Structure 1
Amino acid sequence: MAENTTINPASSLAEIQTALESLHDPRILAVNEKHGNDHAVNLTKLRGLAKQIKTNQDLAIGLWNTGDSAARLLAMLICKPKAFGFEELDSMLREAVVPKVQEWLVSYVVKKSAHCEALRVLWFADSDPVVASAGWELTVMQVSKNPGLLDTAGLLDTIEAEMKEAPERLQWAMNHTLAEIGITHAEHRARALAIGEKLQVLVDYPTPPGCTSPYAPIWINYMVSRQA
């Protein structure tokens, strides 16, 4: 593995792929595989590579089309988010089955797109729980930024009825929404806390020292206490 990879911003797709391969670290792969990811590149080094390349939409598309997770993560860092169309982003999300790739696509690209709300509505109602999880993560953003677009009480109804038995990634996104509602909307806080206490989702999640538990009641109370 190369400790320091220097690359010309005008490098070809093949040269970028070679640079990514030079950063491959089996120890990183072993850690990532525990979380369902398959990239073997340190993300700090990946960001360093992106900084050298700068914004390059054509290269980003080429990297995405390789299907390689590290290449796709790099693509998210050098692309022009507003250059993607609605159908293009929908197709990319449905291809992005690897958790980290989906996370970066939603966070770094879709949230900056003019199609964000339309895609949120589409994905939120999708029968595929992986796709639906992206819709719920976009809903987290709207809970705090544009609550008028949402039926917050209805969201709490759905969370109460479905989160306990939801597949892992969808459950995590629903729990994030529950916590965000409790943190940002005082009028719904008591119910959000009650739902979290009732369902006990992630109550035993191992939390490193210095980090906040994802268990909604602890998460909500901690963040609200910081606002005081």
Structure 2
Amino acid sequence: MTGTSVESLMAELSALEVAAVRAANERRGDDHGVNLAALRAIAKRLKTQPDLARDLWATGDRAARLLALLICKPRVFEHGELDSMLRQARAPKVHDWLVNYVVKKSPHAEQLRVAWTADPDPAVASAGWALTTERVAKKPDGLDLSGLLTTIEAELTDAPDRLQWAMNHTLAQIGIDHPEHRARALAIGKRLGVLKEYPTPPGCTSPYAPSWINAMVARQRGAE
């Protein structure tokens, strides 16, 4: 389907607003009330439309931006455009989808990873660490894993929540995927105790790095 206007889509999104969904999202910092399944259904109907995606993003509306990220073409965005979009993406879900659905597929991902990780804005830095976790898991060649652990050890405890979560994920991923660094990753996690008391539902893996590492390594060994 092509030719759908921003105005008609904004009206459609508005009609899909559910007060209970908005209330639940607002508790997580996301100010929209559209069920994500409904949002994905619209994206499936629209298919890929890069120009429309840019126009939806420009509205500043959270639900419209989520829809934009579902129908865009990640490789068409320039380095500066992605940097600007990330700095505008303050809502957690928009931030998460932008990094995972768009930036990770961009030819600029590595340049942005390096720049963002060192950024003084913790929300921006968290995106850099998310990209670092991706590299640790999929393309670790050239990464200084020991240096990353040193940085994490020095900065994790005092990092703001979103940044702390992202750095902790990198810590766990190093321990999971790189046996030569596992003992150090476990020791750092135990000494710092970050997220040790995080409430974890039954059957789910704790984000506390030592528990996370041990659980995933055991799962990998069980699959062998």
Pairing 1:197–2:216 present: no
Alpha-carbon shift at residue 9 of structure 1 (Å): 4.2
Alpha-carbon shift at residue 210 of structure 1 (Å): 2.0
- Aligned 8 A contact 1:205 1:215 in 2: yes
Whole-angstrom CA distance in 2 between matches of 1:86 and 1:157? 29
- Aligned 8 A contact 1:9 1:52 in 2: no
Match of 1:73 among 60, 66, 70: 66
- Aligned 8 A contact 1:143 1:180 in 2: yes
Whole-angstrom CA distance in 2 between matches of 1:209 and 1:42? 25
- Aligned 8 A contact 1:10 1:53 in 2: no
Whole-angstrom CA distance in 2 between matches of 1:38 and 1:207? 25
Whole-angstrom CA distance in 1 between matches of 2:4 and 2:68? 14
TM-score (norm 2): 0.97
Q: Which SS does the other structure have where 1:39 is aligned?
A: coil
- Aligned 8 A contact 1:122 1:135 in 2: yes
Whole-angstrom CA distance in 2 between matches of 1:207 and 1:47? 28
- Counterpart amino acid of 1:31? A
- Aligned 8 A contact 1:136 1:173 in 2: yes
How many residue pairs align between the two structures? 221
Write out per-residue CA displacement over residues 22-75 of structure 1, whole angstroms, 9 at most, x where no aligned residue: 110111111111111112111111101100111101110011000011100000
Q: Which SS does the other structure have where 1:132 is aligned?
A: helix
Residue 17 of structure 2 is matched in structure 1 by 24
Whole-angstrom CA distance in 2 between matches of 1:144 and 1:103? 18
Which stretches in structure 2 are left out of the alignment for 5+ residues? none
Q: How does 1:42-191 map to 2 (within 5 A)?
A: 42-191=35-184
Residue 217 of structure 1 is matched in structure 2 by 210
Whole-angstrom CA distance in 2 between matches of 1:41 and 1:47? 10
Write out per-residue CA displacement over residues 114-172 of structure 1, whole angstroms, 9 at most, x where no aligned residue: 00000000101101111000000000000022212311101101111110010000000
Between 202-211 and 117-126, report the one with greater CA deviation.
202-211
Report % sequence identity.
Answer: 63
Whole-angstrom CA distance in 1 between matches of 2:163 and 2:184? 21
Q: CA RMSD in A?
A: 0.9
TM-score (norm 1): 0.95
Structure 1 residue ranges, 4+ long, deviating more than 6 angstroms after superposition:
none
Whole-angstrom CA distance in 2 between matches of 1:133 and 1:204? 21
Between 198-207 and 166-175, report the one with greater CA deviation.
198-207
